[in-house]
Structures are given as structure tokens and as C-alpha cells.
Amino acid sequence: MKTTCLIHLACVAMIATATAQAPEPTATFEGVVVLNASDLLPAALLHGPSYRVRDQVGTDGFMAHFEIDSDFGFFEAVGVPQAKRRIVEVEAIRKLVETSKSDLFAEGLKRSIEQPIDAVKNIVKNPVASVKQAPKTVGHFFSKIGSSIERGVDKIKDSASDDGADATAGDVGKGIGNTAKNVVGFDKAKLETAKQLGVDPYSDNARLQEEMDKVTWAFFAGGLPLRIGAAAASAGLALAATNMVGIPDDTYALTQSELALRDEDGLRSMGVSATDIKAFQIQSALSVTRRHRIVNTLLALPNANGRGLVVRLANDCTSPAQADFLIGALAILAERQRSGAADYVSLKVLGRLPGATTASGELNVPAPVDHVTWTEEVAGFAQRDDLGTAPKVLVHTGHLSPATTTGLTAAAWKIVAVPYPER
């Protein structure tokens, strides 16, 4: 099913689960709009040596849906942050492919004695034609069902084994990835590859993972210095690429197991229960990087009670898209805390929507969205009656239509626009 339809259903969930006042009979609602890619992305990102972002970008009332044509397949992206990640990944694939054709790469293969060169050849002959489909839905967060966010470890573990969604660096790759992940030092070498390219080392982009495995193995097993970074910089995207895709610096410095230990320590310091920590570590919708970003954002809210509730909310995500929405929302709160724009004393789960209460008593609801139009679904959300009586602030990224601003203001919302978070 198309991503656009599924996310539209998410919007329907907002109104279906809200016991809100019905909109005025004479209310005028807007339809969704089609935007130009240049309305949402910097001109420098619209096209590159091996890709082009299609000019027309559909919206669903909340999120923008990008389509990217590339030499390595067709990519879809929901939301500006994911579009930026995909663009950086396409350019990284291009540089990896170019590197694999170099004399230095060939020399590395020659020197990798007693290593699985046949696996390397297999990857060269059978590249993945495209990446995984775009995320399914973010409707998870707009339900008023709160009691289901606490799930048992066994249930999460069963889900993880059933859908296989937790694709780590070693699991996604074929051939070399499956063999070399057990070789001492290879994990560190692959982290260096990802760092030089400015990409997530645990990305769910299967083609990117295979190309990183292939190139990293040739240099690592051949005992040669990795020289991808300089070439990648020539594409103009390596500069600040890690900020564009929101990768914490220590993701490149620590192995997967080391990050897991650091995250566990962080969660314990917040008072999160051992059961919830275990569930968090095996949650199928959370990649290594997603887990680490959630922990980092929660640690950036040191005075806020209720962080364990948000961990349970993360444990209840059923897709990477839902996890990304939650991460974006938490990153908005963390950035406001860091900048001094707010001082949060508690975190809340409003049905399944994350929120935070400030020291002054305001309820901040973060919304990592792209372009919001005033639809019945948005009107229903604006008038939800389960958010309490405290002053409400919608802290949003992207753009709200004038009608949306008017409608939210009439429903007693204060509106604060913020940039897309980079951490």
C-alpha cells in the first residue's frame, strides 16, 4: 500500500480517537497540496551527479512525500529529514561504487589473502536494485489509547523475530557482511567508512550497507588506508552531512555493543526499569542509531520526570517510521531545553503522542511535520479534549497554512515554529 495512503490513515486516527467538539458546520477546510521540492529543500540538494529530486512533492496534510530518481534505483522519502538522509546516502553509494572501480580497491582485494573474495565478487554481480519502501505510518502517535504502551519483553522479542525489521550493519549486508562482521577490527573499519561518508552506519538502506561492506572489506583485509572521505567531500555533501542526518558523534567511535552498554547505563541513570531497558534493546523497530538518539534526547532533559514513559512509548513503536517521528519530537524538546527556550519538568504520553510540561505549567506538544493544511483531521486534533486544561503550545517544524494557524489559535493553541532538529 502506498505510503501516502497509510499516512493519510494516520491523520484519520487523530480524529477518530479524539472526543473533540465537532467543527463548525460552516467551517471551510483545505485540501492537501502539491509543493515544489524547492519549497522544502535547499537548491544545492535538489540534484547531484547521480540523482534528481522530482519537482512535484505531494503532501498528506502533515508530511511531504519526496520521490528521488538515482543511478542506483528509485527512492521515496517521507519528510524533509528523511529526504536529506536519502540524498546523502545516494551520494555515498556513488562514491563507494567509484571507489570499488579504483586501482587501490583492486590492490586491496589482491592483498586480502585467505579472505572471502568470492563473497566480494558475488556482491559486485548482484547489487540490490533499490532500497526498502518508505515508512508506513505515524498514526501510532495520534491515538488516545494509553494503556497499551507497556508491553512485555517476550511480546517484543516475538515481534522482532517475526518481522526481522531490526536490520543491523552485519545483518543487512550479504556475502562479506555476514562473514566479516565477526572479524576483529572490521566493525571499527566500517564505522570509519560511514563517518567519512557522513552516513548512518546502521542505515536500513540495503544497497548502502552492501557497498560499505564491500569497500570496507577490501581496504581492511588488504591492510590499506581508507580514502573515501576526500572523494566524498568533492560532492559537496560530506560537509556537515552528519548534522543533516542527525548522527551523534559517538556513533562512529563505539561499536554496536559498546553503544548498547552506554545506552543501558544512560537509561538506568534515568530510573528506567530493567524490564523496559531489555525491551528497548531488542525492539525491532529501533535500529542501533535510533536507540542511541532516543537515549541522547532523553538525557538532554535531565530535570524531566516521566522519561521511562517515553521509553515504553518507543518500545511500542511498530515501524521505523513511528520511531523516526518519536525521535523528531524528542529532538525538538531536547533542543528547546538546550537553548533555554523551555525548562521541562515532566514528560507525558498523551494517548501515544509525546508531550512535555514546562516549569511554568505549559504543555508543549512537538510536531515534526512539513506542511500542515486545515483539514477535518487537523481540526479534530486541535480540539482534542484529552490534553488537559493547561495552556497548550504546538512546537512545530515546517509550515502551517494561514487557515491552520487561524484554526489552532481559535482553539487556544499557542504556536511556535522551530527549525528541523539536527541532533
Nearest in space to 149 (alpha carbons), one of 276, 278, 325: 276
pLDDT of residue 385: 85
- CA distances in angstroms from 254 to 24, 168, 187, 190, 262, listed in the order given: 55, 14, 9, 11, 9
pLDDT of residue 340: 94
d(CA 361, CA 356): 10
pLDDT of residue 244: 59
pLDDT of residue 366: 97
Q: Is the dihedral of CA 333, 339, 340, 341 positive or negative?
A: negative
Q: Is the dihedral of CA 117, 119, 120, 121 positive or negative?
A: positive
In this prediction, the residues of the chain whose per-residue pLDDT falls under 70 are: 1-27, 105, 107-184, 229-245, 423
Q: Is the whole-model pTM more than 0.75?
A: yes
pLDDT of residue 351: 80
